[in-house]
Chain A
Amino acid sequence: MKPLLLWSDLLIYLLVFALCLFFLRLRRDPQTREHWRQVFSTRLGMVTMTLILVYVGVALLDSLHFRRALEPVAGSPADEVFYDNKVTSVLDVMLGGMGERFERTYSAPFALDSFEKQDMKDDNGHTYRDFPPLEHAGYHLSQPEQRWADVAAKSGVALLWGVGISLLVIGAQWLLLRRSPYPWSASWVTQAVVICLAVWLVSISRYYHVLGTDLGGADVAYQSIKGIRTGVLLGTLATLIMLPIAVTLGVMAGYFKGWVDDVVQYLYTTLSSIPGILLIAASVLLFQVYIDLNPDFFSVGLEKADARFLALCFILGVTSWSSLCRLIRAETLKISQLGYVQAAHAFGVSHQRILLRHILPNVTHIILITFVLDFSALVLAEAVLSYIGVGIDPNMASWGNMINGARSELSREPVVWWTLTGAFFFMFVLVLAANLFSDLVRDAFDPRSGTGRSVA
Chain B
Amino acid sequence: MLAYIIRRLFYAIPILIGVNLLTFMLFFVVNSPDDMAVSQLGQKYVTPEAVQAWKRKNGYDLPLFYNAQEPGAAALTDTIFFTKSLKLFAFDFGRSESGRDITTDVSTRMWPSLAVALPTFVVGIWVNICVALMVVMFHATRLDRWAVFVFVGLMSISYLFYIIGGQYLVAKTWKLVPISGFNGEIQPWKFLLLPVLVGVIAGIGAGARWYRTLFLEESSQDYVRTARAKGASEIRILFRHILPNALIPILTGVVVVIPTLFMGGLLIESFFGIPGLGSYMLDAINAQDFAIVRAMVFIGSILYIVGLILTDISYTWADPRLRLD
Nearest-Cβ distance from residue A98 to partner chain B, whole angstroms: 24
Q: Is A127 an interface residue (CB 8 A)?
A: no
Specify the chain B residue showing the minimal Cβ separation from A433: B156
Specify the chain B residue showing the minimal Cβ separation from A279: B297
Decide yes or no: A420 and B164 within 8 Å by CB, A273-B15, A293-B35, A432-B152 being known contacts.
Answer: yes
Nearest-Cβ distance from residue A133 to partner chain B, whole angstroms: 30
User: B residues within 8 A CB of A283?
Assistant: 26
Per-residue contact bits, chain A 416-444, to B (CB 8 Å; 1 contact, 0 not): 00001000100110011001100100000
Nearest-Cβ distance from residue B219 to partner chain A, whole angstroms: 9
Decide yes or no: A273 and B305 within 8 Å by CB, A278-B296, A282-B297, A407-B164 being known contacts.
Answer: yes
Q: Is B36 an interface residue (CB 8 A)?
A: yes
Q: Is B137 an interface residue (CB 8 A)?
A: no
Find B31's partner among A289, A389, A448 (CB 8 Å cutoff). A289
Find A273's partner among B39, B286, B290, B304 (CB 8 Å cutoff). B304
Contact: B300 with A273, CB < 8 Å? yes
Stretch at the interface among B53-61, B76-84, B260-268: B260-268
Q: Is B301 an interface residue (CB 8 A)?
A: yes
A376-B157 Cα distance, complex, nearest whole Å: 10
Chain A residues within 8 Å of chain B by Cβ, number: 46
Contact: A403 with B160, CB < 8 Å? yes
Size category of the binding interface on chain B: 35 or more
Contact: A274 with B297, CB < 8 Å? yes
Contact: B22 with A427, CB < 8 Å? no
User: B residues within 8 A CB of A277?
Assistant: 266, 281
Q: Is A13 an interface residue (CB 8 A)?
A: no
A289-B40 Cα distance, complex, nearest whole Å: 9
Nearest-Cβ distance from residue B15 to partner chain A, whole angstroms: 5
Nearest-Cβ distance from residue B309 to partner chain A, whole angstroms: 12
Q: Is A148 an interface residue (CB 8 A)?
A: no
Q: Is B27 an interface residue (CB 8 A)?
A: yes
User: A residues within 8 A CB of B14?
Assistant: 266
Q: Is A81 an interface residue (CB 8 A)?
A: no
Contact: B293 with A282, CB < 8 Å? yes
User: A residues within 8 A CB of B293?
Assistant: 278, 281-282
Q: Is B153 an interface residue (CB 8 A)?
A: yes
Contact: B30 with A454, CB < 8 Å? no
User: A residues within 8 A CB of B193?
Assistant: none
Nearest-Cβ distance from residue B52 to partner chain A, whole angstroms: 17
Nearest-Cβ distance from residue B286 to partner chain A, whole angstroms: 6
Instruction: List CB contacts (< 8 Å) of B16-36 with chain A.
Output: 18-19, 22-23, 26-27, 30-31, 35-36
User: A residues within 8 A CB of B290?
Assistant: 282, 285
Q: Is B65 an interface residue (CB 8 A)?
A: no
Nearest-Cβ distance from residue A181 to partner chain B, whole angstroms: 23
A154-B41 Cα distance, complex, nearest whole Å: 55
Q: Is A272 an interface residue (CB 8 A)?
A: yes
Instruction: List CB contacts (< 8 Å) of A90-131 with chain B.
Output: none
A266-B16 Cα distance, complex, nearest whole Å: 11
Stretch at the interface among A15-23, A138-146, A213-221, A380-388: A380-388
Specify the chain B residue showing the minimal Cβ separation from A278: B297
Contact: A389 with B297, CB < 8 Å? no
User: B residues within 8 A CB of A286?
Assistant: 26-27, 30-31
A283-B31 Cα distance, complex, nearest whole Å: 10
Q: Which one of A269, A420, A432, A439 has the greatest number of beta carbons of chain B within 10 Å?
A: A269
User: A residues within 8 A CB of B36?
Assistant: 289
User: A residues within 8 A CB of B62?
Assistant: none
A449-B293 Cα distance, complex, nearest whole Å: 41
Q: Is A452 an interface residue (CB 8 A)?
A: yes
Per-residue contact bits, chain B 186-208, to A (CB 8 Å; 1 contact, 0 not): 00000000000000000000000
A215-B226 Cα distance, complex, nearest whole Å: 65
Q: Is B167 an interface residue (CB 8 A)?
A: yes
Find A380's partner among B152, B158, B172 (CB 8 Å cutoff). B158
Contact: A448 with B285, CB < 8 Å? no
Q: Is B245 an interface residue (CB 8 A)?
A: no
User: B residues within 8 A CB of A350?
Assistant: none
Q: Is B38 an interface residue (CB 8 A)?
A: yes
Nearest-Cβ distance from residue B271 to partner chain A, whole angstroms: 8
Specify the chain A residue showing the minimal Cβ separation from B155: A435
Nearest-Cβ distance from residue A8 to partner chain B, whole angstroms: 22
User: A residues within 8 A CB of B172?
Assistant: 410
Instruction: List CB contacts (< 8 Å) of B164-178 with chain A.
Output: 164, 167-168, 172
Q: Is A312 an interface residue (CB 8 A)?
A: no
Q: Is A29 an interface residue (CB 8 A)?
A: no
Q: Is A180 an interface residue (CB 8 A)?
A: no
Specify the chain B residue showing the minimal Cβ separation from A44: B149
User: A residues within 8 A CB of B22?
Assistant: 270, 274
Q: Is A30 an interface residue (CB 8 A)?
A: no
Contact: B285 with A388, CB < 8 Å? yes
Contact: B158 with A273, CB < 8 Å? no
A289-B263 Cα distance, complex, nearest whole Å: 26
Q: Is B213 an interface residue (CB 8 A)?
A: yes
Find A432's partner among B43, B153, B266, B304 (CB 8 Å cutoff). B153
A270-B13 Cα distance, complex, nearest whole Å: 10
Contact: A270 with B26, CB < 8 Å? no
Specify the chain A residue showing the minimal Cβ separation from B305: A273
Contact: B164 with A431, CB < 8 Å? no
Find A452's partner among B38, B158, B220 (CB 8 Å cutoff). B220
Q: Is A390 an interface residue (CB 8 A)?
A: yes
Contact: A410 with B167, CB < 8 Å? yes
Q: Is B217 an interface residue (CB 8 A)?
A: yes
Instruction: List CB contacts (< 8 Å) of B201-257 with chain A.
Output: 213, 216-217, 220
- Minimum-distance CB pairs A-B, first 6: A275-B300, A270-B18, A432-B156, A431-B156, A273-B304, A273-B301
**B-to-A contact residues, CB < 8 Å:** 14-15, 18-19, 22-23, 26-27, 30-31, 35-36, 38-39, 43, 148-149, 152-153, 155-161, 164, 167-168, 172, 213, 216-217, 220, 260, 263, 266-267, 281-282, 285-286, 288, 290, 293, 296-297, 300-301, 304-305, 308
| CB<8 Å pairs between A and B, sample of 26 | A266-B14, A266-B18, A270-B301, A273-B300, A273-B305, A274-B301, A274-B304, A275-B260, A277-B266, A278-B281, A278-B293, A278-B297, A282-B26, A282-B297, A289-B288, A290-B31, A292-B43, A380-B158, A380-B159, A383-B160, A388-B267, A410-B164, A431-B157, A432-B156, A436-B152, A449-B213
Beyond the given A283-B26, A424-B161, please list 17 additional residue pairs across the A-B interface where CB-CB is below 8 A: A270-B19, A274-B304, A281-B285, A285-B285, A286-B26, A289-B31, A289-B36, A289-B39, A293-B35, A384-B158, A384-B160, A388-B267, A389-B286, A427-B158, A436-B149, A449-B213, A452-B220
